[in-house]
């Protein structure tokens, strides 16, 4: 269950990209080994910049620590560059580029065939196309060639635009479903009178629906040029070979002779508070306060960004203390939006039911403009700075994240900002942070949900010109990243490198899967699993298992919630607890030196939770808000309806799916005493397993396990919760979702089989070909040709323990397209069952699935997760190898037979949640 505000906020926090900067002079003497027309500019900590004669900027950051490669092609164009009547063009082009070219008529399908995790994104400053794939020279070669072809030969045809238009409308409607997204957009529109940052990236509906194909092509040819682009390659690849391919593919593209349109619109300094009120159906109250800030490349922005995080820190920050701790809000947030030109910071609070939104807004404004800045201290700065630097390090050590971070920095003015910001954050003082916040967090510089007359307004300063020169001089050039040995990701090699054993302890055994290996930054990922009790023992426990796990990070003997967070920050580690029935999973990320200390902390939290009353009340408020928000969500409505349909469980069974009212009643029943009783009864040793992957000392891990578990009582005997197959009567549910522009479709077919069934590999592939990728029958028929859905697909599951599985179909669409989509879904299924798949489709699908499996095995967190599951099932990666071998041998006849044997459209139970009276 995710906090709705967090989910909504994640939709709004698109990276703020886009920039063109002067081409740097090439070194006096180019490296002889470089291809003709390619010039090395500078190298900083393993990131090397090159320039082609046509102006293309190339950043290469090789890293062999993971067997994966990431490629980003970033065009310095976004919604900021759109003129009157052109809003939404940048985003439309992002869609249309995937529609293909004469050479590549369906790019998304080709990505799926090659196992690329690929997509695109558009922001106010940047359009970014990216792909991550298992490190493979042939795949890199193909993808670079596709990017070069897309830069020059994208089709941009009227037929493609017409087919994609309903998809774009559906994407608009998904945003319109969110009150938070709509409030953010309206506040931004009020805050910016002249600058295009006040417009939605997706554009005005009227502009998007009436755009002409020729203006769209002109926009494409103007901005999709080598001198306006940065190509970024990170991860496992050969830099010399990559440069050769880049020179071959991009070198022949001529430097354009056009000049980009000048940008001279400057938003005037705001001279008075502005306000917006939004009223619509569903959700809970939200208060926002937005302030203009300088551009991301400035020193002032760095101080303001850190200051915003300090103000909104949970639970120590002034906003949390003023609103959440006093019962005015269930959660608060705050962030500075990094942008190429002067941007903004936004702070907000989600108001809990029964609280006064105007009082909460007044408290929010008061905390920002009156007393909050003065309450910031050195400890708060040290906490946020440490967390920021830890995140920076994690980004640097993960090739995919590094590619995105460099792309963001390009958008903000210079890729070296990624390294400059680290220098700036290290150099920050508390006085600087306070001074910048005091200068910009002013009533006259605020746009919020309330108008406040101000007798003596004080204007914020105009942003000063940016000079990066002094910071650039401080960067060390010519530095490389530490070398990390390559790791063999073949399944049997993983088995050979893993130490499996059972640690025998007086209070019960611990099953171990330990895979020590070199990693970037010495990182290690671990999962500890604890099982307790059985279905009968858990009868009537309601939300107690979930709430007990959720409270573990909120206080323990001798440690407050803040002290736990500070300890994790100090250890540069991540820790989370999740409960599923009678299983608690503890996920950890640390490094070689600190993992033993993290294990000590984990066992302290597991054995001595404090369950503080105030934190429990905050958890309950958060749960109530979350449940009430989800109650009107179409996605929740279809999911909950089908989970409840014909379920065999009694209401007091832990496997029972409750109604919204029942969940709220269970929240009300939670108490400190109840959680203490649950913990005392069920938590303990007896059924434990641990998987660790990465850079760690196995002997240290075993020693900390012995110490951490010594003397802990044994939990009630664990028995896996049975999840047997049960018959589900086919039924169609039409669920009203008034006021929601977006609708949801979901269908479920129970399957009586387990993953040892001989048909399982064929069934996996059949599902992949039906709805598992952008080359699937559902995607091609409903999204590409029909234009009815922004997202459509299918999933199939089978238990390793019992004959119990399910086939699930899903789609989102505009409310007015609900009936058409349901008909189209049935038509695709009927046609697929009739025609089946060809051997060519089967072979291509198998290769794609194998590529995705290989990509997963290149990720240490994935390996740890798989090992913890394999310990439960007494399997190893040899199981995956046998599955791979079975997939490789599949024939079309086997796949078609398995599909026709198990996929019965008439047996589907279907739920559609849509506005019964949608607006056109």
Asked whether the beta carbons of 736 and 654 are under 8 A apart, the reply is no
Say how far apart CA 227 and CA 224 lie, in whole Å: 9
Q: What is the pLDDT of residues 397-421, one digit of tens each?
A: 999 999 999 999 999 999 999 999 9
Work out the angle at residue 578's Cα, subtended by the Cα atoms of residues 573 and 582, and round it to the nearest 5 degrees: 140
Residue 533 confidence (pLDDT) above 50: yes
Say what the pLDDT of residue 9 is: 31
**Is the pLDDT assigned to residue 920 strictly greater than 80?**
no
Asked if pLDDT for residue 26 goes beyond 50, the answer is no
Question: Which residue, 814, 913, 820, is CA-closest to 168?
Answer: 814
pLDDT in the model for residue 14: 31
Assess whether pLDDT exceeds 60 at residue 660: yes
Confirm if 114 and 142 have CB atoms less than 8 A apart.
Answer: yes
| 713/694 Cα distance (integer angstroms) | 30
Write out the H or E segment, with its range, that includes residue 57: strand 57-62
Tally of CB atoms within 10 A around 374: 11
Average pLDDT for 677-686: 97
In our burial notation (b when 16+ CB lie closer than 10 A, e otherwise), range 772-805 reads: bbbbbbbbbbbbbebbbbbbbbbebebbeeeebb
Q: What is the pLDDT of residue 460?
A: 74
Contacts of 73 (CB under 8 A, 6+ apart): 128, 129, 130, 147, 150, 151, 229, 230, 231, 232
Would you state the structure tokens that stand for residue 449, as one six-digit string? 């949900």
What pLDDT sits at residue 168?
87
Question: Is residue 817 over pLDDT 70?
Answer: yes
Q: Average model confidence (pLDDT) for the chain?
A: 92
Percentage of the chain with pLDDT > 90?
Answer: 83
**Position 353 pLDDT exceeds 80:** no
Token pair for 298? 């400035």
Confidence of residue 459 (pLDDT cuts 50, 70, 90): low
User: Is the pLDDT score of 797 beyond 80?
Assistant: yes
The rounded percent of the chain whose pLDDT value lies above 70 is 95
pLDDT given at position 204:
86
pLDDT per residue over 148-165, tens digit each? 999 999 999 999 888 888
pLDDT band at 336 (very low <50, low <70, confident <90, very high): very high
Which of 20-29, 47-56, 560-569 is predicted with the least confidence, judged by mean pLDDT? 20-29
Q: How confident is the model at residue 27 (pLDDT cuts 50, 70, 90)?
A: very low
Tell me what the mean pLDDT of segment 122-127 comes to: 96
Low-confidence winner among 167-171, 445-449, 672-676, 815-819 (lowest mean pLDDT): 167-171
727/391 Cα distance (integer angstroms): 48
- Going by pLDDT thresholds of 50, 70 and 90, the confidence category of residue 456 is low
Best CA proximity match to 459, nearest among 444, 447, 469 = 444
Stretch 875-886: mean pLDDT, rounded?
97
CB atoms within 10 A of CB 180: 23
- What would the mean pLDDT of 811-828 be, rounded to a whole number? 95
Q: With a threshold of 0.85, does the pTM exceed it?
A: yes
Element (H, E) at 736: strand 732-736
- Three-class DSSP category at 540: coil
Is the predicted pLDDT of residue 22 greater than 60, yes or no? no
pLDDT at 28 over 50: no
Query: Which tokens belong to 499?
Result: 């130490």
Helix (H) or strand (E) holding 112: helix 107-114
And the tokens for 888? 């490789």
Q: Say what the alpha-carbon torsion angle 27, 32, 38, 40 is, to the nearest 10 degrees.
A: -40
Distance of alpha carbon 204 from alpha carbon 182, whole angstroms: 13
Radius of gyration for the chain, computed over Cα atoms and rounded to the nearest angstrom: 28
Q: How much of the chain is in helix, strand and coil states, percent to nearest 5?
A: 45, 20, 35
Give the tens place of pLDDT for each residue, 92-104: 999 999 998 999 9
For position 10, what pLDDT does the model report? 33
CA gap 312, 335 in Å, rounded: 8
- From first CA to last CA, the distance across the chain in angstroms is 32
* pLDDT above 90 for 645: yes
Residue 16 three-state SS: coil
Query: Strand 127-134 to strand 117-122: parallel, antiparallel, or no bridges (unpaired)?
Result: antiparallel
What is the reported pLDDT for 32? 54
324, with CB counted inside 10 A (0-12, 13-18, 19+), is buried
Query: What is the pLDDT, as a whole number, of residue 235?
Result: 96
Name 325's Cβ contacts closer than 8 Å, sequence gap at least 6.
Answer: 315, 614
Per-residue pLDDT, 458: 65
């Amino acid at each position: 269950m995710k906090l709705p505000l967090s989910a909504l906020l994640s939709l709004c926090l698109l990276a703020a990209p886009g920039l063109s900067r002067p081409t740097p002079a090439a070194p006096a003497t180019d490296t002889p080994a470089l291809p003709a027309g390619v010039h090395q500019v500078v190298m900083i900590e393993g990131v090397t910049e090159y320039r082609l004669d046509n102006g293309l900027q190339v950043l290469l950051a090789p890293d062999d620590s993971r067997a994966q490669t990431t490629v980003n092609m970033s065009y310095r164009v976004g919604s900021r560059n759109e003129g009157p009547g052109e809003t939404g063009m940048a985003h439309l082009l992002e869609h249309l580029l995937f529609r293909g070219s004469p050479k590549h008529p369906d790019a998304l399908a080709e990505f799926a065939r090659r196992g690329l995790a690929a997509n695109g994104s558009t922001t106010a400053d940047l359009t970014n196309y990216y792909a991550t794939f298992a490190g493979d020279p042939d795949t890199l070669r193909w993808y670079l060639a596709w990017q070069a072809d897309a830069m020059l030969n994208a089709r941009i045809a009227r037929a493609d635009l017409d087919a994609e238009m309903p998809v774009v409308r559906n994407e608009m409607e998904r945003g319109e479903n969110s009150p938070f997204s709509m409030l953010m957009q309206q506040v931004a529109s009020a805050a910016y009178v002249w600058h295009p940052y006040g417009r939605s990236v997706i554009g005005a509906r009227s502009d998007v629906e009436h755009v002409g194909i020729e203006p769209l092509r002109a926009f494409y040819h103007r901005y999709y040029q080598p001198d306006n682009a940065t190509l970024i390659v990170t991860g496992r690849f050969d830099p010399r070979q990559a440069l050769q391919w880049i020179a071959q593919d991009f070198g022949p593209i001529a430097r354009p002779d056009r000049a980009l349109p000048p940008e001279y619109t400057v938003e005037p300094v705001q001279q008075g508070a502005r306000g917006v009120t939004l009223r619509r159906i569903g959700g809970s109250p939200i208060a926002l306060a937005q302030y203009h800030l300088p551009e991301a490349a400035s020193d002032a922005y760095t101080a303001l960004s850190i200051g915003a995080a300090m103000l909104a820190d949970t639970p120590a920050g002034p906003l949390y203390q003023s609103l959440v701790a006093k019962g005015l809000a269930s959660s608060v947030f705050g962030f500075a939006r990094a942008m190429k030109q002067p941007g903004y910071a936004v702070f907000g609070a989600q108001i809990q039911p029964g609280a006064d939104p105007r009082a909460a807004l007044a408290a929010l404004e008061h905390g920002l403009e009156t007393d909050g800045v003065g309450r910031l201290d050195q400890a708060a700065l040290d906490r946020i700075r440490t967390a920021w630097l830890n995140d920076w390090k994690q980004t640097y050590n993960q090739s995919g994240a590094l590619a995105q971070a460099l792309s963001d920095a390009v958008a903000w003015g210079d890729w070296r900002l990624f390294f400059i910001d680290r220098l700036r954050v290290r150099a920050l003082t508390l006085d600087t942070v306070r001074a910048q916040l005091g200068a910009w967090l002013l009533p006259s510089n605020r746009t919020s949900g309330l108008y406040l007359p101000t007798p003596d307004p004080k204007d914020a300063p105009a942003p000063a010109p940016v000079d990066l020169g002094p910071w650039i001089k401080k960067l060390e050039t010519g530095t490389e990243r530490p070398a990390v040995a390559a790791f063999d990701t073949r399944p049997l090699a993983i088995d050979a490198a893993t130490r499996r054993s059972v640690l025998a302890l007086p209070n019960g055994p611990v099953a171990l899967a330990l895979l020590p290996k070199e990693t970037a930054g010495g990182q290690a990922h671990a999962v500890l699993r604890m099982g307790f009790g059985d279905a009968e023992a858990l009868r009537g426990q309601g939300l107690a298992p979930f709430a007990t796990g959720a409270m573990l990070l909120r206080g323990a003997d001798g440690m407050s919630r803040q002290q736990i967070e500070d300890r994790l920050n100090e250890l540069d580690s991540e820790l989370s607890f999740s409960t599923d029935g009678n299983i608690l999973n503890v996920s950890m990320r640390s490094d070689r030196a600190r993992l033993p200390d993290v294990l000590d902390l984990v066992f302290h939290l597991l054995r001595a939770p404090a369950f503080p009353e105030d934190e429990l009340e905050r958890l309950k408020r958060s749960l109530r808000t979350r449940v009430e928000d989800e109650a009107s969500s179409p996605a929740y409505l279809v999911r909950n309806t089908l989970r409840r349909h014909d379920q065999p469980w009694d209401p007091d069974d832990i496997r029972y799916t409750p109604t919204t009212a029942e969940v709220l009643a269970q929240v009300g029943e939670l108490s400190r005493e109840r959680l203490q009783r649950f913990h005392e009864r069920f938590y303990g040793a007896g059924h434990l397993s641990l998987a660790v992957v990465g850079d760690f000392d196995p002997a240290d891990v075993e020693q900390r396990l012995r110490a951490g578990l010594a003397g802990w009582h044994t939990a009630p005997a664990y028995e896996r919760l049975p999840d047997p197959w049960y018959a589900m009567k086919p039924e169609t549910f039409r669920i009203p979702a008034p006021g929601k522009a977006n609708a949801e479709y979901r269908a479920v077919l129970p399957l009586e089989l387990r993953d040892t069934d001989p048909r399982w590999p064929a069934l996996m592939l059949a599902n992949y070909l039906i709805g598992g990728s952008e080359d699937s029958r559902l995607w091609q028929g409903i999204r590409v040709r029909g234009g009815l859905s922004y997202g459509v697909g299918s999933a199939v599951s089978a238990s390793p323990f019992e004959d119990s599985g399910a086939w699930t179909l899903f789609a989102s669409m505009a409310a007015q397209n609900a009936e058409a989509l349901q008909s189209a879904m049935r038509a695709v299924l009927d046609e697929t069952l009739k025609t089946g798949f060809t051997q060519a489709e089967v072979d291509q699908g198998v290769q794609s699935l194998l590529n995705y499996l290989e990509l997963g095995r290149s990720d240490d967190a994935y390996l740890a997760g798989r090992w913890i599951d394999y310990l439960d099932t007494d399997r190893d990666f040899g199981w995956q190898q046998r599955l791979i071998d079975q997939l490789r041998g599949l024939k079309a006849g086997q796949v078609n037979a398995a599909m026709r044997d198990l996929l019965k459209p008439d047996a589907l139970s279907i739920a559609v949640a849509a506005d019964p009276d949608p607006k056109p």
